A and B are shown apart, each in its own frame.
Chain A
Amino acid sequence: MLDVTKDGQGAAGAPVIEAKGLNLTFHTNDGPVHALKDVDLTINKGEFVSFIGPSGCGKTTFLRTIADLEQPTGGSLTVNGMTPEAARKARAYGYVFQAAGLYPWRTIEGNVKLPLQIMGYSKAEQAERAARVLELVELAGFEKKFPWQLSGGMQQRASIARALAFDAEILLMDEPFGALDEIVRDRLNEELLKLWARTQKTIGFVTHSIPEAVYLSTKIVVMSPRPGRITDVIESTLPAERPLDIRDSAEFISIAHRVREGLRAGYEDA
């Protein structure tokens, strides 16, 4: 397990997402909004990359652009060497939105099966995969429940299960735990790390929390607003094996410090 993550950290992983001089300007009634300006970033296979920065710095926009939900106005962006649109059509990624966004008329199992049904998996395979990913996010036994019968944290886990169900190699997550309390968040962070180690996925993860970013990531991308841009990219030196109390280690604190400095610098620039 240790080797796998090591592999993802180093230069050995092939580039999965490559942005070069990426620009995205929204034209609004109040004039142009530069959501992304000259963004250069390479994410390699198996990396866990966190995006952190103040509100409005373009974290969501960048993730959505990778997912082909927004169109860049300049620069180049490739996903698995393809255009984002081709990658989306090839179902290269699973996307976890900030709100769980489960369909209320489907059971938890039905929600997890939604992408599988759309992608034409056989009934047997749907059942097998749904059971497997629900097991993975510790929701076995809740298959027949409707979303409103579950807590917010459980709903969020179900939405992660939904994104995992179809074996996309990339997982894009936009503040998936933003609305959850600290304790639940810690648990889900731990689970997410295990899941990442087990599945070797490439993960893009948006967060507002410095400890969360440092705890989870192999690479932390610090962004700042107006215009939205990358101000620092920090390669984590933490080991792959990360118990929760690693957050008290000197190394963790020094990385967190560097992230905080990067955030502060962004504020002063703006």
Chain B
Amino acid sequence: MSRSIPVLTVVAVLIGLWYLAVIPMNAKWEYDQAARNDRELAFGEMVALTMNQERPVLPAPHQVLIGLYEQTVGCDAVGRRMCRETTPLTVQGFGQRVVESVSSNRSLIYHGLITLNATLLGFLIGTGGGILLAVAIVYNRATDASVMPWAIASQTIPIIALAPMIIVVLNSIGVAGLVPKAIIAAYLSFFPVVVGMVKGLRAPDAMQLDLMKTYSAGGRDVFLKLRLPMSMPFLFASLKIGIASALVGTIVGELPVQRGGLGVRLLSGSYYGQTIQIWAALFAAAILAASLVGIVGAIERRVLKRMGMAA
């Protein structure tokens, strides 16, 4: 409770600033419009108008909120008939609308699920690959010397330049749909996992390793009973970054393909000047990212608590 007050204060201030910014950003269009109609525009009237433009330069917060609603369980997403026949205010009606929304290509739920699928697949590939690479780096000096520079170099190439190439190349060998996007997601998420896991697996100090040696423990035991548990806090910190990166990668991977996903909503919104659609898609992506990071964080707390470590 005591923590929610400062948080809510900050949110309120940000929303206030956002509303203030809406006025100058959208004012020009209203003044132009008024001039075209040979009409004087009072300041108060202008402010009211900037808040509800159809294609604002900067949509007002409530417009984005309404957009989010319309494009999930509102009429935009579920179609006119369902809109007339159901209400989102009853559990049953809400359920029906969600079900409809899942298969409507005008819905953020539909596109969000497409993005989520590729994100999760990419995250799994990236995390798995990252952990294996980290193990190879920690246990093999040659890998350390030869792979690490490449891993770092790989992250300096802008993903926005690389993504279309990956998609075109994969397309030409007949791989399309989910997998190319997942590969771009994996490409972004493997790096933080490698860095975190290498650090974590190397975290045991000389004394802890010596202790293992006095038991004449084998490599398997040293790995499973010392290095791996020691690396858990590092792993989870990396996973949180990794899953957010995977989402970004997926969205970038969706831009050139135009076959569904939040990336498509972003791009088609900008083609047609549908700023509210862009912002709604942006917020949907942010909510998705926050939920994914939150889920990883919840797992982290449970695992570390069982390991007696305060998260």
> Which positions in A face B, CB cutoff 8 Å?
64, 67-69, 88-89, 91, 93-95, 97, 99, 101, 103-107, 114-115, 117-119, 146-148, 166
Q: Are B216 and A105 in contact, with the CB atoms below 8 A? A: no
Contact, CB under 8 Å: B214 / A93: yes
Minimum CB distance partner of B210 in chain A: A69
- In the complex, are the beta carbons of A105 and B214 less than 8 A apart? no
Whether B215 and A118, one on each chain, are in contact in the complex, defined by CB atoms closer than 8 angstroms, is yes
When the two chains form their complex, are residues A88 and B225 in contact, meaning their CB atoms are under 8 A apart? Answer: no
Centre residue among B229, B232, B308 by max chain A CB count within 10 A:
B308
The reply to whether B225 and A117 form a contact with Cβ atoms under 8 Å apart is yes
A107 to B217, CA, bound (A): 20
A104-B308, A115-B215 are known; give 8 further A-B pairs, CB within 8 A.
A69-B210, A91-B215, A93-B214, A101-B208, A114-B215, A117-B225, A118-B212, A118-B225
A-B contact pairs, 19 of them (CB 8 A): A64-B210, A69-B214, A88-B216, A91-B215, A93-B214, A94-B214, A97-B210, A97-B211, A101-B211, A103-B226, A104-B307, A104-B309, A105-B309, A107-B308, A114-B225, A118-B217, A118-B221, A146-B308, A166-B215
Asked if A69 and B308 sit within 8 Å, CB to CB, the answer is no
The 3 lowest CB-CB distance pairs between A and B, nearest first, are: A146-B308, A105-B307, A95-B214
Cross-interface CB contact of B216 among A89, A101, A106, A114, cutoff 8 Å: A89
Q: With A and B bound together, what is the CA distance between A84 and B222 in angstroms?
A: 21
Taken together as a complex, chains A and B put the C-alpha atoms of A107 and B214 apart, in Å, by 21
Q: Name the one of A68, A99, A118 contacting B207, with C-beta atoms under 8 angstroms.
A: A99
Q: Which residues of A contact B302 (CB under 8 A)?
A: none
- List CB contacts (< 8 Å) of B197-236 with chain A: 207-208, 210-217, 221, 225-226, 229-230, 232
A70 → chain B closest CB, angstroms: 10
Find out whether the CB atom of B208 lies under 8 angstroms from the CB atom of A103: yes
Complex: chain B residue closest to A145, CB-CB: B308
Give Cα distance in the complex from A67 to B208, angstroms: 15
Query: Is A119 touching B215 in the complex (CB atoms < 8 A)?
Result: yes
| Secondary structure class of chain B's binding surface, majority of residues | helix
Nearest Cβ on chain A to B204's Cβ, whole angstroms:
9
Residues of A with C-beta under 8 A to B221: 117-118
Whole-angstrom distance between the alpha carbons of A68 and B214 in the complex?
8
Q: Closest residue of chain A to B205, judged by CB?
A: A101
Question: In the assembled complex, which residues on chain B have CB atoms less than 8 Å from the CB atom of A104?
Answer: 307-309
Nearest B residue to A64 by beta-carbon distance?
B210
A69:B213 contact, CB within 8 angstroms: yes
Nearest CB of B to A114, in Å? 7
Contact A88 B214 (CB under 8 A): yes
Q: With a CB–CB cut-off of 8 A, which chain B residues contact A166?
A: 215
Chain B positions within 8 Å of A91 at CB level: 215-216
Bound CA–CA A106/B229 (angstroms): 10
For B230, what are the chain A residues with a Cβ–Cβ distance below 8 Å? 105
Contact B207 A101 (CB under 8 A): yes
* Interface residue ranges of B265-311 to A (CB < 8 Å): 307-309
Shortest C-beta distance, B24 to chain A (Å), equals 55
Cα separation A99 to B215 with both chains bound (whole Å): 17
Contacts of A97 in B (CB 8 A): 207, 210-211
The residue in chain A whose Cβ has the minimal distance to the Cβ of B204 is A103
Would B214 and A103 count as touching, CB distance under 8 A? no
The verdict on A106 contacting B215 (CB below 8 Å), with A101-B207, A117-B225 known, is no
Question: A101: which B residues are within 8 A, CB to CB?
Answer: 207-208, 211
C-alpha spacing A64/B230, complex, angstroms = 24
Considering the complex, give the chain A residue whose CB is closest to the CB of B233.
A105
B182 to chain A, nearest CB (A): 33
A106 to B309, CA, bound (A): 9
Nearest-Cβ distance from residue A15 to partner chain B, whole angstroms: 21
Contact of B211 among A93, A95, A107 (CB under 8 A): A95
Instruction: Please give the distance in Å from A204's CB to the nearest CB on chain B.
Output: 13
Residue of A nearest to B208 (CB): A101
Q: Which of A94, A97, A103 has the most CB atoms of chain B within a 10 A radius of its CB?
A: A103
Q: How far is the CA of A119 from the CA of B309 in the complex (A)?
A: 26
Q: How far is the CA of A95 from the CA of B232 in the complex (A)?
A: 27
Write out the residue numbers on chain A whose beta carbons fall within 8 Å of the beta carbon of B232: 105
Q: How far is the CB of B139 from chain A (nearest CB, A)?
A: 19
**CB closest residue in chain A, given B221:** A118
Encoded as 1 (CB less than 8 Å from any A CB) or 0, chain B from 60 to 76 comes to 00000000000000000
| B216 to A, closest residue via Cβ | A89
B308's partner among A68, A94, A118, A148 (CB-CB below 8 A) is: A148
**Set of chain A residues within 8 Å of B212, measured between Cβ atoms:** 118
Q: Among the interface residues A94, A115, A148, which one has the most CB atoms of the partner chain B within 10 A?
A: A115
CA distance A93 to B216 in the complex (A): 11
Chain B residues within an 8 Å CB radius of A103: 208, 225-226, 229
Residue of B214, B215, B217 with most partner-chain A CB within 10 A = B214
A70 to B93, CA, bound (A): 74
Assembled-state Cα–Cα distance A166/B215 (Å): 10
The residue in A93, A97, A166 that gathers the most chain B C-beta atoms within 10 A of its C-beta is: A97
Cα A18 to Cα B221 with chains together (Å): 31
CB distance from A163 to the nearest CB of B (A): 9
